[in-house]
Each structure stands twice: as structure tokens, then as C-alpha cells.
């Protein structure tokens, strides 16, 4: 049976009940019977739904998809070192968030939810609004005032109602939750915050399956991720774990997380050697998608990074902009948040040379 388990109090809820977090306020994880199977891969479309057996949606007719996933991997080089780049910015709404949204919105349809509320500074909201539009859901996205205007425009053009909130990222999340508890103009909406939903991670884990399949069932030595809430890193940790359990790959790549110096709660905790991340006072950063001073899944990110033999690193605003400029001139039109990982790569290859490295280019520019 598929169940939603609370990480805090251990309460189990059947996955047929629409909930976004435990009654105690705790984060939920999913325990499911869905298991990766590779038997029929060759007959399937190049989309993340080719790993259908691993994705905990009961009925195919609930799937909400634009054919996302299976993004290209191209070889490039940086400072003379070869690197593999996975072009996540070619996703339907412009970022890897579509991996999470296709699964989360499919589950909302399975739960007969008609209206969703999300809080996001950018791509999470864009992505959920995009998939919400495809599913015919009413969508409201709460955004911080500093949310990039191109993202707000994209949300509105696909039909979402956007509510700007003054204050911290936490205030934005609170406003979204309160709207769900008290009812808002769209009726009784469901809180579908992508930072909390376990279904979102069920989508991002396909990143790992794809990397392995596209590299002929080998894995790179290292993968560098820009880290805000860690949804791509955590999904990958699960995904590579699944592949190891099946005996398909022999080892986990080192998962390396990069954060801006201006907002690096996980880097701070990693360097202190502690097992949880305290909230930080964030300074503004060009990498708005990583401006998460208090990531709900901080503890798991630290665990995943350490268990994989990886590390956390921080990069300055200058390094981020320089990395973005380099990539743009190479024809990769990525957004500043994506450049966080590339800036980290420049630092990483200065110290380590022999490893094979892959970097997801997570989101497209225009922000």
C-alpha cells in the first residue's frame, strides 16, 4: 500500500487522502510499492513517464504531461576540463521543476482537487501554473515582491492568479497556507507547495534514471547541483539509490551542492559538521531560485550529500554572473540560478581533475 509517512511523529496516512503535510506540521515522505522496471523501456517514448512503474500515480488517465524529461546530455568543457551538461532548461515551462510538477499535478487530479495554491519565487510557480493549466485547475501562486517580472508574467499568461507578498520567503509561504485554511476566492484550494510535497520528489528522481540510461547505465563520478530546497539533489539521491538496489549501477555519484554565499544555510551546516541546517539571514542574490534561507528538507540534503561522499560549496555573486556569461557565450541561455552550479564547477575542477562530472543546467534565462 502507498502511504504518506510523517518524518516527525511517524503517523501514516493512506495515499488516497489528499494532504500536503502532517497534522503535526511535519514533512511527509512517501512509501510506495512503485518500483522501477526497465523491461519495457525500449518501446517507450523519450519522456520521464517511460519509468512509469516507478511513479506512484494509480491510473494512467490521471497523468498530466507535456512529454517532459529525457532532456539531452551534451559534452562541453570548462577551464579545459571535459564536462557533461544536461539541458534541463529545455523543459516545457523552462526548468527542471516540470519533473516534479507533472507528478504532483497528476496526483492532484487523482485526488479530484480543483484548485491549487503554491508559493514560489519563480520557476516552481511557473511550472505548477503550467501543468495546472493543462489539467484545467485554478491556480494561485504567492510570490515574494522581488520575484522576477518575467516569471510573474509567465504565471499570469498561463492563467494563474499571482499574489505578491511583502516580507520574507517564510511570510510568503504562510500567506499561501492561510489562504488554503481560510478558503480564498478560488474556493477551497489545496496547498501544493512544491517544497513540501513528497510527490514532487517522485518526479525529480527520474533525473537519475535518465542520466544512467543516457550514459549506457554508467554514472558520472560527480554531479553538481544548485541547491535551494534540494529537490533535484534529493530526487537524484533516491533515483540512484533505486538503480543501485536493482544492481543496475554499482555506485552512487558524489552529489555536490552549490549555494550562493548570500544564502547558504546548507553550506554553513556542512562546514560546521552538524546534521541540521539553521535558518540564515539571507542577503539578496542574483540566483533567486536558491534564495531559501530555511529549507524544510535541510537535514535530508546534508545526509544525502554526506552519504554520497559529496560536499557543499558556496560561490560569490561575481562568480555566478561570470559563470552565466561564459555559458551564454557558449550558446546556453541559462538563468542566474543555474549558473550557481557552473560557478561551483569552476571551483571544483580547480581542485579535482580526474573525475567525470555532470552538471544539470536547471533553468532558462529571461527573468
Check residue 46 and give left, alpha or beta (phi > 0: left; psi -120 to 50: alpha): beta
Dihedral angle, C-alpha 63, 69, 70, 74, nearest 10 °: 170
Residue nearest to ligand PLP (CB): 363
* Of the residues 56, 230, 253, 296, which one makes contact with ligand PLP according to CB under 6 A: 230
> What is the C-alpha to C-alpha distance for residues 128 and 145, in angstroms, rounded to an integer?
19
CB distance 277 to 306 below 8 Å: no
Q: Which stretch binds ligand PLP (CB under 6 A): 225-233, 239-247, 313-321, 322-330?
A: 225-233
Q: Which stretch binds ligand PLP (CB under 6 A): 20-28, 103-111, 157-165, 334-342?
A: 334-342
Q: Would you state the cell numbers that stand for residue 201, as one nine-digit string?
A: 520528489
Instruction: Give the footprint of Zn ion on residues 23-62 (CB under 5 A).
Output: 24, 26
Of these partners, ligand PLP, Zn ion, none, which one is at the site of residue 20 (CB under 5 to 8 Å by kind)?
A: none
> What is the C-alpha to C-alpha distance for residues 91 and 101, in angstroms, rounded to an integer?
11
H/E run at residue 240? helix 231-245
**Contact between 92 and Zn ion (CB under 5 A)?**
no
**Contact between 8 and Zn ion (CB under 5 A)?**
yes
**Contact between 12 and Zn ion (CB under 5 A)?**
no
**Contact between 290 and ligand PLP (CB under 6 A)?**
yes
Q: Among 202, 222, 193, which Cα is nearest to 69's?
A: 202
H/E run at residue 223? strand 222-226
Binding mask 119-148 for ligand PLP (x = CB under 6 A): ----x-------------------------
**Contact between 69 and ligand PLP (CB under 6 A)?**
no
Q: What is Dmax (Cα atoms) for the chain?
A: 56
**Contact between 289 and ligand PLP (CB under 6 A)?**
yes
Of these partners, ligand PLP, Zn ion, none, which one is at the site of residue 227 (CB under 5 to 8 Å by kind)?
A: ligand PLP
* Of the residues 69, 228, 264, 310, which one makes contact with ligand PLP according to CB under 6 A: 228
**Contact between 22 and Zn ion (CB under 5 A)?**
yes
* Helix orientation angle between 231-245 and 206-214, rounded to the nearest 10 degrees: 60
**Contact between 71 and ligand PLP (CB under 6 A)?**
no
What is the nearest approach in angstroms of Zn ion to the Cβ of residue 19? 10
CB distance 209 to 36 below 8 Å: yes
User: 276: which residues sit within 8 A by CB, 6+ positions away?
Assistant: 269, 298, 299, 302
**Contact between 9 and Zn ion (CB under 5 A)?**
yes
CB distance 230 to 294 below 8 Å: no
Q: Would you state the cell numbers that stand for residue 200, as one nine-digit string?
A: 514532487
* Of the residues 232, 280, 286, 342, which one makes contact with ligand PLP according to CB under 6 A: 232
Give the binding site for Zn ion (CB under 5 A). Answer: 6, 8-9, 11, 22, 24, 26
Give the binding site for ligand PLP (CB under 6 A). Answer: 95, 97, 123, 226-232, 289-290, 335, 337-338, 362-363
Amino acid at each position: 500500500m502507498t502511504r504518506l509517512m510523517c518524518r516527525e511523529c511517524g503517523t501514516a496516512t493512506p495515499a488516497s487522502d489528499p494532504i500536503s503535510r502532517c497534522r503535526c506540521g511535519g514533512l511527509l515522505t512517501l512509501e510506495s510499492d512503485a518500483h522501477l522496471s526497465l523491461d519495457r523501456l525500449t518501446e517507450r517514448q523519450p519522456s520521464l513517464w517511460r519509468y512509469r512503474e516507478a511513479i506512484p500515480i494509480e491510473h494512467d488517465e490521471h497523468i498530466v504531461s507535456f512529454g517532459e524529461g529525457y532532456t539531452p546530455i551534451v559534452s562541453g568543457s570548462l577551464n579545459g576540463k571535459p564536462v557533461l551538461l544536461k539541458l534541463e532548461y529545455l523543459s516545457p515551462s523552462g526548468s527542471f521543476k516540470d519533473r516534479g510538477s507533472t507528478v504532483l499535478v497528476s496526483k492532484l487530479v487523482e485526488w479530484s482537487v480543483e484548485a491549487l495554491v503554491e508559493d514560489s519565487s519563480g520557476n516552481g510557480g511557473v511550472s505548477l501554473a503550467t501543468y495546472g493549466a493543462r489539467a484545467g485547475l485554478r491556480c494561485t501562486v504567492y510570490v515574494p515582491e522581488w520575484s522576477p517580472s518575467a516569471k510573474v508574467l509567465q504565471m499570469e499568461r498561463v492563467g494563474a492568479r499571482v499574489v505578491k507578498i511583502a516580507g520574507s520567503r517564510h511570510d510568503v509561504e504562510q500567506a499561501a497556507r492561510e489562504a488554503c485554511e481560510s478558503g480564498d476566492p478560488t474556493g477551497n484550494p489545496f496547498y501544493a507547495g512544491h517544497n513540501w510535497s513528497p510527490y514532487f520528489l517522485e518526479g525529480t528522481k527520474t533525473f537519475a534514471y535518465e542520466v544512467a540510461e543516457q550514459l549506457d547505465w554508467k554514472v558520472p563520478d560527480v554531479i553538481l547541483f544548485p541547491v535551494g530546497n534540494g529537490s533535484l539533489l534529493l530526487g537524484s539521491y533516491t533515483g540512484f539509490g533505486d538503480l543501485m538496489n536493482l544492481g543496475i549501477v554499482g555506485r552512487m555519484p558524489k552529489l555536490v551542492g552549490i549555494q550562493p554565499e548570500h544564502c547558504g544555510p546548507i553550506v554553513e551546516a556542512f562546514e560546521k559538521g552538524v546534521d541540521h541546517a539553521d535558518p540564515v539571514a539571507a542577503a539578496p542574490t542574483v540566483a533567486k531560485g536558491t534564495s531559501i534561507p530555511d529549507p524544510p528538507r535541510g537535514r535530508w540534503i546534508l545526509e544525502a550529500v554526506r552519504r554520497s561522499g559529496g560536499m557543499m560549496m558556496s560561490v560569490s555573486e561575481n562568480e555566478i554572473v561570470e559563470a552565466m556569461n561564459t555559458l551564454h557565450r557558449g550558446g546556453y541561455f541559462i538563468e542566474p540560478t543555474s549558473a550557481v552550479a557552473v560557478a561551483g564547477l569552476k571551483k571544483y575542477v580547480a581542485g579535482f581533475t580526474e573525475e567525470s562530472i555532470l552538471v544539470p543546467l536547471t533553468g532558462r534565462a529571461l527573468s
